Amino acid sequence: MSIVALVVLSLALTGCLGAYQVPAAEPKGAGGLQPVLADTDAGLVGIARDLDLKRYLVIAVDRFQVAESDVKDDEDRRLAAELPPYLQSEIVRRLRASGLFERIVNLGETEFAPAGQQALRLEGAITKFAPGSRALRYMVGFGAGASKAQIETRLVDMATGEVVIVSADRREAAFGVFGGDSEEHLKEALSDMARDFAKFLARTRETGGTRPAAQRGAPPGAQAVAASLRFRGSWQGTLKFRTTSGPVMTLPVTLKIFEQNGALAWSLVRTDQGNSMTGAGAAEVDGDTLRLAGHFNRPPSEGSPSRVSVTYSGTVRLDAYEATGLAADNRVHALSVRRIAD
């Protein structure tokens, strides 16, 4: 088979999928705040009580650190030197584009003293840093050799030293032409996290900061319920994932999205040689993005849990939903369904 044919086959199975969000691992928190509230954009967050971001006119963005324990060779050291200033500049760029603050300062370029202004300092670290294996991404795919990065942030009131917001966001990237370059994957993940952190701050600023506007599990308001109407119904298609023995499995699935107790929920049935496995959980809508979080029930076996957590996230275009997902057993899923009934 030619190289071109191999590439086409690879894209047919997995697509050119970029970085995707997964649950943050062991976030530390700071200043008495812990990132325990799940947020659609920023991963996990913690917010000081009665915080009003509208009081702050200036934000200064510091350089992020990289955990020394994740630096294992010369390539890691090179990336650990290049990625923090890249993340810093991406956050500055996204915040400037958002218009949230009158002034955004890049502390990698200039010094800054508040001089009586209400100002915030953004500090943090790149943790769980792993470039991954391009060879494994190309030869195996479906999550093998994934590039991984987690950022943990703290927003500090520069006048009082109080930590007012903490967050922990983790992204992985496992797909791309010829497996994808590790540096490109990591930069895409960091850029996405910078973009979504700015989105989180924008929502928090408007809601007063008492909790994330898209806190998972919170009952949606009337406007959100109305906006979700177009996602409800029955959907059919396929679910693809790589088995532990290596082959790619393609299974027929039926997905249902419905309202339950004032919130949006989902159930899914996948069939394998006549045997069915069911999944269920909560659904969230953000524009055209539909996120499904829940679990699959599977027949118990020795050493294997009967419930496996899973998260899907993707975009709805007309009556088609294409999503990527990650299960608790680290299998990457590709879900492709079309609406068959309202």
Domains of the chain: residue spans and CATH = 3-207 (3.40.50), 225-341 (2.40.128.20)
pLDDT of 140 higher than 50? no
Type and span of the H or E element at 1: none
Backbone angles phi, psi at 138, to 5 degrees: -80, -45
pLDDT at 139: 31
pLDDT at 328: 59
Over range 98-125, report the average pLDDT: 93
pLDDT, one tens digit per residue, over 48-85 is: 988 999 999 999 999 999 877 778 888 888 888 999 99
Over range 8-23, report the average pLDDT: 52
* Number of Cβ atoms within 10 Å of the Cβ of 54: 12
pLDDT of 238 higher than 50? yes
Please give the Cα distance from 221 to 231 (Å, whole number).
16
pLDDT at 141: 37
pLDDT of 143 higher than 90? no
Please give the Cα distance from 257 to 255 (Å, whole number).
7
pLDDT of 268 higher than 80? yes
Higher pLDDT pick, 178 / 100: 100
* Number of Cβ atoms within 10 Å of the Cβ of 146: 26
pLDDT at 248: 82
Please give the Cα distance from 151 to 187 (Å, whole number).
12
Type and span of the H or E element at 198: helix 182-207
Structure tokens at 209: 């900061």
Confidence of residue 1 (pLDDT cuts 50, 70, 90): very low
pLDDT, one tens digit per residue, over 149-206 is: 899 999 999 999 999 999 999 887 654 433 346 678 788 889 999 999 999 999 999 8
Of the candidates 62, 30, 65, 26, which has an alpha carbon nearest to the alpha carbon of residue 47?
Answer: 30
Backbone angles phi, psi at 2, to 5 degrees: -70, 160
Tell me the Ramachandran region of residue 32: left when phi exceeds 0, alpha when psi lies from -120 to 50, beta otherwise. left
Confidence of residue 228 (pLDDT cuts 50, 70, 90): low
Least confident of 37-46, 89-98, 271-280: 271-280
Please give the Cα distance from 133 to 137 (Å, whole number).
6
Please state, for a pLDDT cut of 70, what percent of the chain lies above it: 75
pLDDT at 16: 42
CA 122 from centre of chain: 20
Q: Which range among 118-127, 209-218, 239-248, 316-325 has the greatest average pLDDT?
A: 118-127
Higher pLDDT pick, 165 / 290: 165
CB 41 within 8 A of CB 197: yes
pLDDT at 152: 96
pLDDT of 34 higher than 80? yes
Q: How many CA atoms lie within 13 A of 49 on its CB side?
A: 1
pLDDT at 154: 97
